[in-house]
A and B are shown apart, each in its own frame.
Chain A
Amino acid sequence: MRRVYFDNNATTPVLPEVFEAMQPYFGEYFGNASSIHHHGQETRAAVERARESVAALLGCRPSEVVFTSGGTEGDNLAIFGLAQAGDHVVTSTIEHHAVLNSCKHLEAAGCEVTYVPVDDRCLVDPDDVRRALRPNTKLITIMMANNETGVLQPVEEIAKVAAEADVYFHSDGVQAAGKVPIDVMRIGCDLLSISGHKMHAPQGVGALYVRKGTILQPMLYGGSHERSRRAGTENVPGIVGLGKAAELAREALERGDLAKMGAVRDRIQQTLLGAVEATGVNGDGAPRVPNTTNMYFDYIEGEALVIALDLKGLAVSTGAACSSGAIEPSHVLTAMGLRPDRARASLRFSLGKQNTPEDVEFALGVVPSTVARLRELSPVYNKTAVSH
């Protein structure tokens, strides 16, 4: 059966070049990067080369890159590394759970948190962030790109708000890295987390940009790895993979590959809007990363559509999966003010570098007919049809 993967915001396949770069570090080069002998020196050099590559992608100094196990750890390290009991933190209602649940935990631990809303295009208003500031505000943490809608937040303006108030600004850049250029100097943020597996590196590796001079309370205690900001023997193959993926991402951005991907995404959107009635784009009109579109198909349950499409070979997603694998209503779409039924009727298509024009044709062929079958069997759709 032909299988097409349009869920690249969940995870991406490791690119062949990345896999190839990693392979020697499972056997030939196996040293502990902290060891003083030859074996350690080889892997130390590889880790530092990767650090340079990630720094080049983010526009920072290599010494400002801390390798982590992924986006969740980066977000946690930034938040718990800075906020202490009595501090106030500003975040938004559309953050990833790695940030939202960290903030909930902060509240339980004696911090105050303000969750600024978004408008119907999924955008945070920097003025709302400014108004949320208090004398004890320590940190603003607002994502660069939303994982469900792909909407890019006005992080440069938020960084100005933070700088004026002398407050730390962390941005979850997991869904932006590799999809849009990131320059932490231009943005003006103090911390920014990225994840390897969202940009064709393996799962289990990520990085946190920490502006020079920022004192972070570590979350893991042990050796003095990563300048004592993150103890634990380095995941050398993963870090090498992230370094290679960062290099490829930079090249792709320079070549204009992502603009092309944006054109493909737009074509998918336009074709589906034309082929299926009562359909629309969530976050339409806002700047978005070029690989993502989130569309609603009224009168259906997104969950059933995801299953039906999977059985036909197309992998897409809706909402966020809970521990059992069931879909929970999307807090992002709800925060944008979508009606609950429309939030449940929404689907995310997210493209990756590996997708081909044939993949796109396949998806465009299978989605309209599947939506039609679901609607035909939907009690809501039939009731609505009768009442018209």
Chain B
Amino acid sequence: MLDSHTIAVAMSGGVDSSTVAAMLRAEGHTVVGLTMQLWNQRRLAGHPGMPEAVQGRCCSLDDVYDARRVAETLGFPYYVVNHEESFERDVVRPFVEEYLSGRTPIPCSLCNNHLKFDELLVVARQIGADALATGHYARVEFDEQRGRWLLKRPADLSKDQTYFLFGLTQEQLSRTLFPLGGLTKPEVRELARRHGLALAEKPDSQEICFVPGGDYKHFLDAYLAEQGESLPDTAGELVTSDGQVIGEHAGIHNFTVGQRKGLGIATGSPLYVLQIKGDTREVVVGNQDELYSRTLRARRVNLIAVEELREPMRVAVKIRHRHEPGPAILEASGDDEVLVTFDQPQRAITPGQAAVFYDGDTVVGGGWIT
């Protein structure tokens, strides 16, 4: 690039975002590093089932230290900004409430929508940056013909994070840079090494950042206890799809659609969770075949590649992070709601997860499965 811009880099202290900072610096941009302080791991330390000492990956001092070292090595200013209050309001609370009403949430999408590409982007612009760069594996480009900013899958499909980014608006995309979109993870590590970054070999993080060890049930208990609330009684009946009661369960938040283990029922054929009814607290179970369904409805839809859905559109739809998108017809079915009809039935369509619509590599949009 010829002209130098001021670019804010959202830094987690990991290899991806650190490499982004190094790349932009090498291209001659003025870089400002920002880390969001989102969650205080010490809050729940010591609650039953939670680690005594802080070892989570979210906002740990080690990560801030690593990010600060990168900024110091490459010579650009770096700041930690406190967004704990809105993270709790917009991500943690909804996460807890979704589970308690029988859905399976994706906090990462909420964080991207409300924190990273909303509040952090505002801070970035306020402090004089033209754009915000992150270490996500995705691509953003402007389509002259459509006059729209497009979100596209990255070169390294095994790292594709577009599923978590479907909520980005045109305004947000116009100010977002994903410099890793054309690279594979090994290439990124190699770049990190070449830029002399000490954290080039740092392992990837996988789990939900504020849930240590990935045990969300313990997290719900600990969080509610800390809030002075107790886990509401969501115990109820286990029923078959034809309404037969076959047992009881201790609470709907223990279940996810498609789950097989932990039903506490011994029957001849394996049983799976088909549906969780938040209002009646019933958990509907059945056999493997009943898990498959051809349609889903999604609400709170965000469209990226098109302005509106005037007529049914052929797309491929991804219903969870590790899901091979299934060919389907996408059509508007109401105010802010779409109907997806798959060519082939899909296994375990789960309320609370996102449905993201793809046209080849391009993200058409997405919504929340109801």
Contacts and interface: CB of A to CB of B under 8 A. Distances in A.
Interface of A: 300-301, 303-305, 307-308, 310-311, 322-328, 373-374, 377-379
Given A311-B32, A311-B77, A324-B37, A304 B64 contact: no
Given A310-B77, A311-B77, A327 B126 contact: no
A86 B79 CA distance: 44
A303 B122 contact: no
A327 B37 CA distance: 9
Contacts of A325: 64, 68, 79-80
A168 B265 CA distance: 68
7 contacts: A304-B123, A304-B126, A307-B79, A311-B77, A322-B82, A324-B64, A377-B125
B46 interface: no
B59 interface: yes
B123 A327 contact: no
A324 B61 contact: yes
A310 B80 CA distance: 13
B245 interface: no
B198 interface: no
Contacts, number: 56
B59 A324 contact: yes
B81 interface: yes
A74 B64 CA distance: 31
Contacts of A308: 126-128
A314 to B, nearest CB: 13
B123 A301 contact: yes
Given A377-B122, A379-B122, A328 B127 contact: no
B127 A311 contact: yes
Contacts of A373: 126, 128
B12 to A, nearest CB: 13
B303 to A, nearest CB: 22
Given A303-B123, A304-B122, A326-B84, 18 more contacts: A301-B126, A304-B123, A307-B32, A307-B123, A308-B126, A308-B127, A310-B79, A324-B61, A324-B64, A324-B80, A325-B64, A325-B80, A326-B37, A326-B80, A327-B82, A373-B126, A378-B122, A378-B126
A88 to B, nearest CB: 27
A258 to B, nearest CB: 33
Interface of B: 32, 35, 37, 59, 61, 64, 68, 77, 79-82, 84, 122-123, 125-128
Contacts of B81: 303-304, 307, 326-327
A323 B60 CA distance: 10
B126 A374 contact: yes
Contacts of B84: 326
A303 B82 contact: yes
Nearest to A340: B85
A311 B78 CA distance: 10
B78 to A, nearest CB: 9
A337 B328 CA distance: 56
Contacts of B126: 300-301, 304-305, 308, 373-374, 377-378
A308 B32 CA distance: 11
Of B77, B80, B82, B128, most buried by chain A (CB within 10 Å of CB) is B82
Which 10 residue pairs across A and B have the least CB separation, nearest first?
Answer: A326-B37, A326-B82, A325-B80, A326-B80, A308-B127, A324-B64, A304-B126, A374-B126, A307-B127, A304-B123
Of B32, B77, B81, most buried by chain A (CB within 10 Å of CB) is B81
Nearest to A319: B82
Nearest to B85: A329
Nearest to A308: B127
B245 to A, nearest CB: 49
Of B35, B80, B122, B128, most buried by chain A (CB within 10 Å of CB) is B80
Nearest to B30: A311
A2 to B, nearest CB: 15
A303 B122 CA distance: 12
Contacts of B59: 324
Nearest to B84: A326
Contacts of B64: 324-325
A305 B122 CA distance: 12
A327 B82 CA distance: 6
A327 to B, nearest CB: 5
A300 B35 CA distance: 19
A352 B61 CA distance: 32
Nearest to B38: A326
Contacts of B123: 301, 303-304, 307
Contacts of A303: 81-82, 123
A301 B83 CA distance: 11
Contacts of B80: 324-326
B122 A323 contact: no
Nearest to B129: A311
B345 to A, nearest CB: 43
B119 to A, nearest CB: 9
A123 to B, nearest CB: 28
Given A311-B32, A311-B77, A378-B122, A323 B127 contact: no
Contacts of B37: 322, 324, 326
Nearest to B77: A311
A374 B122 CA distance: 9
Contacts of A305: 126
Contacts of B122: 304, 377-379
